[in-house]
Each structure stands twice: as structure tokens, then as C-alpha cells.
Amino acid sequence: MDVIKKFLIMDGSALVTVADTRALTERARKLHDLSPLATAALGRTLTVAAFMSLKFKDKAAHLSITVDGGGPIGKITVCAGYGAQVRGFVENPHVDLPLNAHGKLDVGGAVGHAGNIRCVTDLRLKEPYMGQSQLVTGEISEDFAYYFTVSEQQPSAVAAGVLVNGKGVKAAGGVFIQPLPGCDDYKLTMLEDIATNFVNVSCLIDEHGVDGIIENYFSHLGMSDTEILFPRYKCVCGKRKIDALVNSLPEKEKAEILDERGEIEVVCHFCNKVYRYGREDVEDLKAKHKKK
Ligand SMILES: [Zn+2]
């Protein structure tokens, strides 16, 4: 089962989040028939999104992320809601490239870095917040570290990784370290030092799990009580939402599609569920809507 553990270290000088996201990444892989490379790129982004959603206090809060680097994977779209529920897809799920110079999946090459991260966060407090930053490497972790620093004014060490083998996702997860107000230069240097341990975070998750990572790297640093969450892949589409969407199409457009194909078909990009509406269904929706 996927899990996220969150705690303070060094007398509240920094917030640490350690996430195991293997199951949700595997679910994304199966849903979208992702290549190993696409699995790594989407899995890393889903892991970051799960982490970002931890700040939600309102059950209706949500965020959406677009990573658009101009590479062969196309755009990566990921959404997250309250309780670390995430969902996402990539434009080219079968993207494949040779391994990079380090013998690893070339996520940076697939994503590209001639573009940006865009993120819309709706905390349900006031207007949604829109943030944007340039991509740095396309490897996702560095890109979000930069995004948090320039767009959300929260410097953060980000390490998100996915380990794929012949059977599927062997391990996935991330470690996030955020200095808080009051963190002095000495502690900052210590944090930077600790962060260098997580370059191969997916292997660490595979070998030690979340608890092993906490034990090995953080337990001696004066940890606060740990908050535990269970992230998962969950789509939020449903018949009522799609009904409303179909009903809101212009009459002319509905008539044209029905004349041409005999039905209106809507496919959810996040879970690939297909919703079909025949001529009668469309009329029913219209009648129902008018009654309200
Ligand atoms: Zn769906």
C-alpha cells in the first residue's frame, strides 16, 4: 500500500516528506499502457502532485499541473485532490528512447526542457493561484525544485523516482525537504548534504522502504510526530459530470455529431472510461436539465 510520512526535523527547522507511490504509479502504467519511460515521467509527476496536495485543508481543494517541455512524450497532465488522490496522463504513452549516459531511463530526453511547468492550485480560500516556471532538465525533480523556489517562494529539495522492471513498477516514491523560517545557514548546509543521498531515490525506496529511509537519514535529527497519509490514483469523472458536460455542448454541435456518428462519445483522459450518448439520451438530458 502506498504511504506518505511527513514530519519536522531539527526543532522544526525543516519539513520532510517521504512517499512510497509504487501502487499508484503501477495503476497509471496499467491504465494508460505506459512504456517504461512514460511510466517514469508520469510516476515522478504524480508523486510530486501527491506531495503538493498535502497542504490542502478543504476537501474541495485541488490542483492541476502541466509539464510541457517540447519533448517526444508531449504534455504531461496531472491533477491532485484532498487526501493525496492523484490522476494523470501523458500525450504519448508509448514514448521510447535509448537509456541516457548514466544507463537510466532518459526522462529528461522524453520530457524535453524547452518549455515550462504550469500549475493551478485552488485552495478554496480565494482565487486559484497560478504558478509557472521554466523547465531546467526535464527530469522532473530538478524542475519542481526550481518551480517551488521561484513560483511558490518555498525552496525545496525534491527527489522523485520510479524503478521499472520487466513486470512493471518495482518501486516509486520521493523525498522532499523544505527548510522553514528560522532555519539558519548551518542547518541549511546540513539539509543540502542530506539531500544528496536521494539521487537514486527509487532504489532506496526499493531497498529500505519509507520507514528504512526515515530510520537511516532522519531519525537522529530530532523528529517531530509523524503524520501518515495514504495516496492513491483516483479519477473523479462520473456520469453526472459527463452528463452536464454533454448537455452544455452547443445544440448545433450535438446535432452534427449525432448525424455523423449516431452517438456522442466522451472518453475520460485520466481513466480511459468511455461514456456514450445516443440521440434519446441527449434529448433526455435536455429535458431533465430544463425541469431544474
Ligand atoms: Zn475518469
How much distance in Å is there from the Cα of 274 to the middle of ligand 1?
Answer: 9
Q: For cell 495516496, name the residue.
A: 231
| 168-209 pLDDT per residue, tens | 999 999 999 999 998 999 999 999 999 999 999 999 999 999
270: CA distance to ligand 1 center in Å?
A: 5
35 CA → ligand 1 middle, Å: 20
Give the distance from CA 256 to its chain's centroid: 36
Ligand 1 centroid from CA 237, angstroms: 4
pLDDT at residue 288, as a whole number: 87
pLDDT of residue 292: 62
Region of 168 on the Ramachandran plot (φ > 0 left; ψ -120 to 50 alpha; else beta): left
In the reported structure, the alpha carbon of residue 7 is separated from the centroid of ligand 1 by a whole-number distance in angstroms of 33
273 CA to centre of ligand 1 in angstroms: 6
| Tens-place pLDDT, residues 266-278 | 999 999 999 999 9
Question: Ligand 1 centre and the CA of 104: distance in Å?
Answer: 31
Gap from CA of 87 to ligand 1 centroid (Å): 9
C-alpha cell at 125: 480560500
CA of 162 to the centre of ligand 1 (A): 23
Contacts of 166 (CB under 8 A, 6+ apart): none
* 65 Cα to the center of ligand 1, angstroms: 17
Residue 84's nearest CA partner among 149, 158, 21, 40 is 21
CA of 123 to the centre of ligand 1 (A): 22
Residue 263 is placed in which grid cell? 452517438
CA of 179 to the centre of ligand 1 (A): 36
> Is the separation of the CB atoms in 15 and 245 below 8 Å?
no
What pLDDT digit, counting tens, does each position of 17-63 carry?
999 999 999 999 999 999 999 999 999 999 999 999 999 999 999 99
Neighbours of ion ligand 1 (CB under 5 A): 235, 237, 268, 270-271, 273
Cell of 15: 519539513
Burial class (CB in 10 A: 0-12, 13-18, 19+), 23: middle
pLDDT tens profile 123-147: 998 899 999 999 999 999 999 999 9
> Which residue is listed with cell 518501486?
171
- Find the 232 Cα to ligand 1 centroid distance in Å: 14
Residue 266 Cα, ligand 1 centroid: separation in angstroms? Answer: 10
From residue 277, alpha-carbon distances to 3, 61, 251, 256, 269 in Å are 39, 30, 14, 14, 18
pTM: 0.94
Distance 230 CA to ligand 1 centre (A): 20
In 3D space, the residue among 67, 64, 68 whose CA is nearest the CA of residue 79 turns out to be 64
Mean residue pLDDT across the chain = 95
18 membership: H or E segment, kind and range = strand 14-20
Total number of residues shown for the chain? 292
- Domains, the chain, in order of start with CATH, read 3-233 (3.55.30.10), 239-291 (3.90.1280.10)
Task: Give the per-residue pLDDT at 289.
Answer: 80
234 C-alpha vs ligand 1 centroid, how far in Å?
A: 8
Going from the Cα of 241 to the center of ligand 1, the distance in angstroms, rounded, reads: 10
